[in-house]
């Protein structure tokens, strides 16, 4: 049933639209020679495409080799610069150490000079006092015997005189 209805619809469509049935054109006949020529031209085109691709791949390989060489050169340059930088830093460190040593020596010398000056100043400042103290000690030692005799005399006098005894007691001499 389905086949018959489909067939009926097809017949009606062809009868109303005859251009559908006539629109299909038969393909022109190709000879074997034309097929072989077309295949040969396709093979040659494929070979030329391969040659072009090989040439491009070779160019890419050369570019990669060039880039690898440049990277290698850059690495060597960086290593050299790094080595030079380390040498410069070592020189700078040595220079800084020598400056530090000089500053330390100058600080020690300045410290010793200040201590020396302070000691010298103390000695020169104390010397006049020492001489005065020695003079006073000499005077006291000379007058010591006289002072002792005077004190003994006053004590003996205090036994008879109450006022003298009171004065000596106020100075804790009795």
| Dmax (CA) of the chain | 185
Q: Is the pTM of this model over 0.75?
A: no
Question: pLDDT band at 93, cuts 50/70/90?
Answer: very high
Whole-number percent of the chain with pLDDT over 90: 41
Burial 125-158 (b: 16+ CB within 10 A, else e): eeeeeeeeeeeeeeeeeeeeeeeeeeeeebeeeb
Mean pLDDT, range 27-54, rounded to an integer? 86
117-163 tens-digit pLDDT: 888 888 888 888 888 888 888 887 777 778 888 888 888 888 888 88
Question: pLDDT band at 15, cuts 50/70/90?
Answer: low
- pLDDT score for 146: 80
Mutual angle of helices 162-170 and 32-158, in 10-degree steps:
170
Whole-number percent of the chain with pLDDT over 70: 89
Q: How far apart are CA 93 and CA 86, in angstroms?
A: 10
Residues 20 and 13: beta-carbon distance below 8 Å: yes
């Amino acid at each position: 049933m389905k086949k018959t209805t489909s067939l009926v619809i097809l017949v009606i469509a062809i009868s109303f639209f005859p251009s559908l049935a006539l629109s299909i054109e038969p393909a022109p006949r190709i000879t074997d020679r034309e097929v072989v020529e077309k295949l040969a031209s396709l093979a040659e085109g494929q070979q030329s495409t391969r040659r072009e691709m090989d040439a491009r791949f070779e160019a890419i390989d050369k570019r990669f080799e060039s880039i690898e060489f440049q990277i290698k050169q850059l690495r060597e340059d960086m290593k050299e610069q790094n080595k030079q930088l380390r040498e410069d830093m070592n020189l700078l460190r040595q220079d800084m150490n020598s400056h530090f040593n000089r500053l330390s020596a100058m600080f020690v010398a300045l410290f010793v000079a200040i201590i020396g000056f302070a000691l010298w100043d103390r000695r020169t400042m104390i010397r006049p006092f020492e001489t005065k103290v020695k003079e006073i000690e000499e005077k006291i030692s000379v007058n010591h015997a006289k002072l002792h005799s005077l004190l003994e005399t006053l004590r003996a006098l205090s036994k008879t005189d109450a006022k003298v005894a009171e004065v000596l007691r106020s100075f804790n001499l009795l």
